[in-house]
Amino acid sequence: MEDELKLPLSVLLPNTGGSHPVCKNSPSYNRSGLHKAICDMDLVGLQRELAAANAQILNSADGLGYYPIHSACALEMLQTKRPGVPCEIVRQLISAGADPCKKDENENTPLHWSARAGDKEVSELLLRKNCPKDAQNKQGETPLHWAMRAGRSSVDVVGELLENGARASSLNKSFKRPVDIAADGFDDERDKALEKRKRLTKEGKRLLLALTEERKQARESLLRRSAQSRTLVLHHPECLEHTPKSSTDWEAPDRITAIMRRLGIYGGDDAQGKSVVMPYEIVSSSEFERAKLDLLSRVHSTDYLAFVNDLSKELERRQKKGEEAVNSDSDDQQRTESLTPPVVPFTPMVQRSMIKIEEAHVKLGAHSDTSFSVGSLRAARRAAGAVQHAVDW
């Protein structure tokens, strides 16, 4: 079983007709002699056809909308184990005048096809010939999307694309980045039945496990190479200064601390002794500033900002007064009350002070889902600063 998981998923899947027709030969595809020589990987026939070919033949599509250069770049999908031959064919085609940036009917470039085929050598050649590394097809997917879809077989191409500046943050028309579709396969693959069958047979479980392992490996390969693709986690001690109404509130600092521990940031381990994410999946930082007034004024009125600032100062005065009471000759109950940080229900105060609604419609403090304490303003400004930092990152 362990050996099986190291194989490409296409080897484990049942054979339902072979490789994609872009790189196969068939009379029904209405291909030229040149195109047929390419799909047969016939170097002698290729040279003969190129000697007689003109620019029109080089850049003519077959009945499926594929050009000779597309088929040449996808030859590795045939798994014929003839290293170097596909790249030599592509090199000869380009030397003869084939367009290395030509798009097929679905607007896939030759680089899309070499990425899908997992052919690093051909991909390198196309990048040297300035084939656009971030060209999008009709689904908005780049060659990097396709390399990630292909899974384990295209890991080396993923590295080559990233080293040449391919954007790991590109979104397809479903708003997914390359990392989001790791090892998902392609819609035109009949072997995609693996995910659609959902049968709990021994074979189905085996294939599903293989797919899961391949997806993990493809994601890890990209995330290790591209910090931009990792999840940015921003945290700061000031965000823990807010005091909620109770320890069970969703905004309780203890909740943040628990999440950070689960991510391996605070303490490194969760309750089971193991972080729920791998270090290469996230980037964590506390190096960001509090949001400044000019940023806050873009989304809040001057009156609201003044209200919040005054409320914060009032609570600070209450806290200072409480600290003074602790040092006085007050009884134990008064001291306990003085040590309790002042916390007020926030929504009712906003309704009274800012919205000016009738008292009968003001939300009861006990029902308010938000609270405000001495540290709330600092925590809020730091959180807003985190948003600004994340946008600029």
Look at residue 274 in the predicted model and tell me its pLDDT.
63
Residue 376 has, within 13 A of its CA and on its CB side, a CA count of 25
Look at residue 73 in the predicted model and tell me its pLDDT.
97
CA 174 from chain center: how many Å? 12
CB 114 within 8 A of CB 126: yes
Residue 141 phi, psi (nearest 5) = -95, 140
CB 55 within 8 A of CB 95: no
Look at residue 134 in the predicted model and tell me its pLDDT.
97
Residue with token string 């030599």: 88
Q: Which two three-digit tokens encode residue 222?
A: 């990209």
Angle, alpha carbons 55-61-63 (nearest 5°): 150
Residue 11 has pLDDT above 80, yes or no: no
Q: How confident is the model at residue 14 (pLDDT cuts 50, 70, 90)?
A: very low
Residue 65 DSSP one-character state: S
Q: How confident is the model at residue 325 (pLDDT cuts 50, 70, 90)?
A: low
Class of domain 4-229: mainly alpha
CA 129 from chain center: how many Å? 28
Residue 263 has pLDDT above 60, yes or no: yes
Residue 95 has pLDDT above 60, yes or no: yes
CA 2 from chain center: how many Å? 28
Q: How confident is the model at residue 335 (pLDDT cuts 50, 70, 90)?
A: low
Look at residue 1 in the predicted model and tell me its pLDDT.
42
Least confident of 62-76, 151-165, 352-366: 352-366
Q: How confident is the model at residue 2 (pLDDT cuts 50, 70, 90)?
A: very low
Q: How many helices (H) and strands (E) does the chain have?
A: 18, 4
Query: Quick one: average pLDDT of 300-329?
Result: 85
Quote the mean pLDDT of the chain. Answer: 85
Identity of the amino acid at 140: G
CA 247 from chain center: how many Å? 34
Look at residue 117 in the predicted model and tell me its pLDDT.
95
Q: Residue 254: count other Cβ atoms within 10 Å of its Cβ.
A: 12
Look at residue 342 in the predicted model and tell me its pLDDT.
83
Q: Is 290 exposed, middle or buried (0-12, 13-18, 19+ CB in 10 A)?
A: buried
Least confident of 10-19, 192-201, 206-215: 10-19
Q: Which two three-digit tokens encode residue 362?
A: 């003001």
Residue 55 has pLDDT above 70, yes or no: yes
Q: Which two three-digit tokens encode residue 59?
A: 């850049």
Which residues partner with 371 through β-bridges? 345
Shortest CA distance to 233 belongs to which of 188, 203, 201, 265?
Answer: 265
Least confident of 102-106, 211-215, 329-333, 375-379: 329-333
Name 247's Cβ contacts closer than 8 Å, sequence gap at least 6: 254
- DSSP H or E run through 61: none
CB 141 within 8 A of CB 113: no
Least confident of 40-44, 256-260, 275-279: 275-279
Domain range annotation of the chain: 4-229, 231-393
Residue 343 has pLDDT above 80, yes or no: yes
Query: From the CA atom positions of the chain, what is the Rg in Å?
Result: 31
Q: pTM score, two decimals?
A: 0.73
Q: What phi-psi label fits residue 138: left (phi over 0), alpha (psi between -120 and 50 degrees) or beta? A: alpha
Residue 186 has pLDDT above 80, yes or no: yes
pLDDT digits (tens, 9 = 90+) for 347-375: 999 999 999 999 999 999 888 888 999 99
Q: How confident is the model at residue 13 (pLDDT cuts 50, 70, 90)?
A: very low
Look at residue 199 in the predicted model and tell me its pLDDT.
56
- Burial letters for 218-233: b for 16+ Cβ neighbours within 10 Å, e otherwise? bbebbbebbeebbeeb
CB 149 within 8 A of CB 185: yes
Name 46's Cβ contacts closer than 8 Å, sequence gap at least 6: 34, 37, 38, 89, 92
Query: Quick one: average pLDDT of 7-19?
Result: 45
Residue 15 DSSP one-character state: P
Residue 235 has pLDDT above 70, yes or no: yes
Q: Residue 176: count other Cβ atoms within 10 Å of its Cβ.
A: 17
Look at residue 8 in the predicted model and tell me its pLDDT.
47
